[in-house]
Amino acid sequence: MKKNLSQKCKKIKLILTDVDGVLTDGGRYYSKTGEGFKKFHVRDGMGVNILLKNNIKTAIITKENSPIVKKWAKDMNVSKTYSGIIKKELSLKKICNDFSVFPVEVAFIGDDVNDLKLLNLIGLSSTPNDGIMLCKKSADYVCHMNGGFGAFRELSDLILNYQFPTKNNWY
C-alpha cells in the first residue's frame, strides 16, 4: 500500500472498474450450445448502490462488448458502461468530461496488462488480490479479496470509510 491512501480516497467522486478478473473471477463459462455466462458477486452490486447513495458514481470500462455486462450494469445502477475499449487510458479524458471530474477524483480497479496505463493516470489505483504482479506494483491499494469475490466492494468500503469516518451506516 502506498502513502497518502487516506488523502487519495477522500478525493474520489467516480470509481471505474474493469469486468473480467475484477467484477468476475475471470473464468469463462459456456453452455453446450455455446452461450457465454459470467458470475458476478452480489456484494459488488451492493457496493455500487451504496456508493451511489453517497454521491459517488461508478462506471465500467471493458474491452468486451457484452450484453451480460450491460444487463448487470443496468440492474446494479452503474452510471455508465464504456464497452469495446482496447486502450482504456485513451478514454480517460472523455470519462472525466462525461462525469465532470478530474483524473485525481477517479479511482480505478483493474487486474491485467491492459489496465496498467490507466492505473497510473488516475487518483486512486487498485487491483484485486489475484491481479497480476505488475498491477500490484502499480496499485495504491491491493485488495485482500480476489476478483469476482468482492474486490470491488472492498475498494468501495475503503473509500467510504475514509470519506465518512464517523458515519456508521453509509448504506
How many helices, marked H, and strands, marked E, lie in the chain?
7, 8
- Cα separation, 102 vs 100, in Å, equals 7
Average model confidence (pLDDT) for the chain? 95
Per residue, what are the HEC states of 38-63? CCCCHHHHHHHHHHHHCCCEEEEECC
Going along the chain from its start, the domains and CATH numbers come out as 5-163 (3.40.50.1000)
Spell out the residues 6+ positions from residue 137 whose beta carbon is closer than 8 angstroms to its own.
none
Q: Kindly report whether the global pTM for this prediction surpasses the value 0.85.
A: yes
pLDDT-above-90 percentage for the chain: 88
Question: What is residue 3's predicted lDDT score, i.e. its pLDDT?
Answer: 59
pLDDT tens digit string along 72-100? 999 999 999 999 999 999 999 999 999 99
DSSP, res 146: P
Which among 109, 141, 120, 137 has a CA at the least distance from the CA of 20? Answer: 109
- Is the separation of the CB atoms in 75 and 45 below 8 Å? yes
Higher-pLDDT residue of 36, 50: 50
CA count, 13 A, side-chain hemisphere, 10: 7
Per residue, what are the HEC states of 74-122? HHCCCCEEECCCCCHHHHHHHHHHHHCCCHHHEEEECCCHHHHHHHCCC
Neighbouring CB atoms inside 10 A of 67's CB total 10
**Angle, alpha carbons 16-50-126 (nearest 5°):** 35
